[in-house]
Amino acid sequence: MSHANENYNNKKIIFYLEKLKNIKTLLVIVNIQNLIENKKNVRYDVRANSNSIHIKIFNLQQEIHKLDIPLPLHCRINQNTLHCQQDVNSTDSYSLEIKATLLIDLSDPLQSSSATLLDDVIDDHHLTALDNTDTLKQHLNTTDSGDNSVYCRQCLNRLLKDSVNKDKKYIIKLLPSSNWVEMMDVWLCGCTGVTSFNGFPTGDINALVDYYFIGDRFVLVHNDNVNTEDLVIGSKSKEKVLVGPDYLNQEWNIVQCKMCYSTVGLNQVQENLSYNYRLFKHAITTTLSPPQSFKNYSLSNVSNLYDLYTLETYISTQILLASRSSITFKFSLTCLHSKQVFAIISLIHWETLFYSNYYSNDSSVNTNTDEFKPILKVLYHQIQDDKNDRDIVREWESNYQIKHLYLPPEDCKVVIDLLNSSNNIFPNHRKHLEQSKINFKIGILRLKI
């Protein structure tokens, strides 16, 4: 193995590519850490073709690094527009910025599609986020063993029973988008003379026995269909829900798996609604049958219809929906029951396609990492338990229209770890941004894994 490839595999060389909506320009950043001692004598040679960008880095006439960056594009790069700029100001890193214009043939369906031009990345995300109901029916109702199988993703503890009525199968229905009430202003624009849904119910849909309701981030099932003896009901949490013109408080119990104590969903507290169970898509798995032995068990070898749903896509989808429906771009990552704020988050860009070798060894999901994926680019600041950060939270929530992103405390910590990890992708001069006297870090949250 060459020295360059060894550094590449050790992630000392990190690169990422960005494409923006309606801007036919490709941005490539190559971040090389602690590999070049004398930056003043560095020079580089960059060449591109339709499949890759070839970079050679020299120090005192000696080639020290060689890197081939694949380009998962359906179009070509205009090599006449290839522009390179190196950052040598940082004391502990070296980065190279490459920009080029994309040559897009609109007569080619692949090149003119939203996947290339990114015209419909948000709509595309919502379309692909909806489950294939026919496939789900097959998994729930026509398995060889007769099991209607929904399990805890971490330990495969069974969460869902067979249908109560043995003569009938589960009925699969899609729930409306969780932000549909906030979108009423868009629908009722006044052009038809209608400005409100008079007498139209806008409350939550409640669970029904033997119905499997699929939402954008959770599934809604009835208490009679849940293996309640294998669950632990934890702390109470409150959630503000828009019903008609007003926000009403709903109380939910945090539901944990009895076997591994991971959080799998919520159960409504109100006595007349306690049959409502929300199971998080990122916390469950669908399999034909659980393995007989857990000795060789790993997430990668379990057939799961919710494989693409993770905690990262759960929180990024929630941010995306809020930004579209209520024009909210400021968020507080908040504990479900203690209301402790773990981080403040500001959305800065939501129409970006991103590709990086940083995620190429991510074995947690079975997807192709060598392609562009839609992301959210955010500013975030982790909140410490001190007076300065408490003042920051107080001013943040009083000066801006913010939305709370409620999660169990362990999930809040995981989201912060995800953001901190993504911050490692950026070179030093792109890692931070000071705004409103707050030293924010820049991070990304993937909408698709």
| Contacts (Cβ under 8 Å, ≥6 apart) of 61 | none
Q: Fold for domain 122-301?
A: 2.170.150
- In the prediction, which pLDDT does 9 show? 40
Query: Considering the entire predicted model, what is its pTM?
Result: 0.80
User: E-strand spans in 49-154?
Assistant: 52-59, 62-70, 76-87, 93-103, 151-152
Predicted confidence band of residue 342 (pLDDT cuts 50, 70, 90): very high
CA nearest to 160, candidates 209, 224, 225: 225
Residues in the chain: 449
Q: At what angle do helices 311-325 and 121-129 cross, to 10 degrees?
A: 130
Q: What is the CATH number of domain 3-109?
A: 2.60.40.790
Burial class (CB in 10 A: 0-12, 13-18, 19+), 237: buried
Q: Which residue has the higher pLDDT, 290 or 234?
A: 234
What residues does each domain of the chain span?
3-109, 122-301, 311-446
Over the stretch 432-448, which tens digit does the pLDDT of each residue have? 998 878 999 999 999 88
Predicted confidence band of residue 7 (pLDDT cuts 50, 70, 90): very low
Rounded to an integer, the average pLDDT of 91-102 is 78
Rounded to an integer, the average pLDDT of 354-370 is 69
